[in-house]
Structure 1
Amino acid sequence: MSTATARRHSDRRISPVFLGILAVMAVSGWAVWTGFAAQPGVAVFLFVLSAWIVSLCLHEYAHARTALHSGDLSIGAKGYLTLNPLKYTHALLSIVLPVLFVIMGGLGLPGGAVFIERHRIRGRWRHSLISAAGPLTNVLFAVVCTAPFWLGALDGVPLPFVLALAFLALLQVTAAILNFLPVPGLDGYGVLEPWLPHRLRRQVEPFAPFGLLAVFALLWIPGVNAVFFDAVYALMDGLGVPREAVYCGRELFQFWKGESGFCAVPVD
């Protein structure tokens, strides 16, 4: 095997960091399912948080992998294909802040910080697809998390696990919606940007670093927050996920706030 081939395999080998996070998700998921943990909230917290980090890693991996196949061959050397969250350009934006927001309030905040050398990529459709690949991963996660609800496949599933899935689905739905907003700095704008006039793109470019902050500030406005979450819960209702299950899943996740008795939620 040549040195270049060996390096290429190394660049794409799954990171032990990611495998460790995946192991935490598997073990804590088993603990939630079996009721092994004395405190179900602790197990739910570890399961949802590790699954959320896994989804963040796969979100960034989707951007990177799509960019690789679109012409940016520098992606591998940056370590993005190893699924190691420590390799991201801005680990604070990609992992730390999204995790903190989930812990504080249960909002799937968009991450995103893989550096793609756009000049290597030809074709507007390819640029749009690279931007769309990340949030489409969140959409896929949302489909997987909600599938037991809209398929009516919850018979025999322990209630804590149902509640954990409902809350995790909320995070994925909010992340997908927020990421697809056509706001500079978010993936939704990245999908549209290649199709905009060059002059307009140049005018908007300075505002890109502040797009996420602007969205977050707007969500602090009670009226905007209410409209946003009404839309989110309407979508969750359409997917067959009861709001009570989401509320109680969040209550279990935030176990340190003190549970108001274990939520006994009837789920069809």
Structure 2
Amino acid sequence: MGHQGSRGERRISSVFLGIAAVMAVTGWAVWTGYSTSTGLAVFLFVTSAWVVSLCLHEYAHARTALHGGDLSVGAEGYLTLNPLKYTHALLSIVLPVLFVILGGLGLPGGAVYIERDRIRGRWKHSLISAAGPLTNVAFAVVCTAPFWLGALDGVPLAFRYALAFLALLQVSAAILNFLPVPGLDGYGVIEPWLSHRIRREVAPLAPFGLIAVFALLWIPEVNAFFFDVVRDILSGLGVSDLETYCGRDLYRFWQEGNGLCEVPRD
């Protein structure tokens, strides 16, 4: 009975499969130019792919916690990849998607509750925190593979732009997540190595960490520096500013473009 229960706890949810199907179909539409609106197809493809990456981010936290000793993540439904099972669906899915739509920024989510007292060993705690943003890093590597492999021949322009913008979201999310700020995964990586006194004093700041980061990003100089870092990383992966710009331009199909990113149609 327990074995059947554990199998059910790890069965991929139909919700996630539905989102992945939307990603596949709209990705095909972008590739083939099948849609009457390239921008709408790019919007649906990038948004669904972004939600898939958010689910994988949270799954990575949960799966690593499971191997670290927290068996409760299965009962909570975290291993099903169902975004509706997260403790804060608003923080993990709705807000990150909203930030992409409004500003093209990969907002770190965060909403699987790990019972840390079940886990022994500082390295395990650090790895659980690092697993999520490392998923974003892996996603960025996959998205940019055609660029750094020099395999763009035959890749339609719209699909190339969509991948470039999706890569920007993954890189920005990974950087923000790895910041050593209370409440973010980066702090979770170093927290086990801090003294009990420091951890106790910092704990009340955790709910405000993400708010503080975004307040800082409103400062033009900080914002410019942050996106310079993102651009430098993307450039190192073979993705140009023009490609990410055009990806964002196509994504925001409801806005009037400037003609720089026109995609030829068959």
1:58 aligned onto 2:50 = no
Partner residue of 1:197 out of 171, 188, 195:
195
Alpha-carbon offset, residue 5 of structure 1? 1.4
What aligned pairs does 1:1-268 form with structure 2 within 5 A after superposition?
3-261=1-259, 263=261
Alpha-carbon offset, residue 231 of structure 1? 1.1
Return 5+ residue gaps in structure 2 as ranges: none
Equivalent pairs, count: 263
In structure 1, the residue corresponding to 2:204 is in which secondary structure?
Answer: helix
Could you report, residue by residue, the CA deviation over 1:93-124 in whole angstroms, capped at 9, with x for unpaired residues? 11110000000010000001100000000000
Paired with 1:204 and 1:257, the residues of 2 have a C-alpha distance of 43
Paired with 1:21 and 1:107, the residues of 2 have a C-alpha distance of 20
Alpha-carbon offset, residue 262 of structure 1? 6.0
Q: CA RMSD in A?
A: 0.9
In structure 2, the residue corresponding to 1:256 is in which secondary structure?
Answer: coil
Residue type of the alignment partner of 1:58: L
Could you report, residue by residue, the CA deviation over 1:7-33 in whole angstroms, capped at 9, with x for unpaired residues? 111111100000000000000000000
Percent identity between matched residues is 77
Normalising by the residue count of structure 1, what TM-score does the alignment of the two structures yield? 0.97
Paired with 1:149 and 1:208, the residues of 2 have a C-alpha distance of 38
Return 5+ residue gaps in structure 1 as ranges: none
Normalising by the residue count of structure 2, what TM-score does the alignment of the two structures yield? 0.97
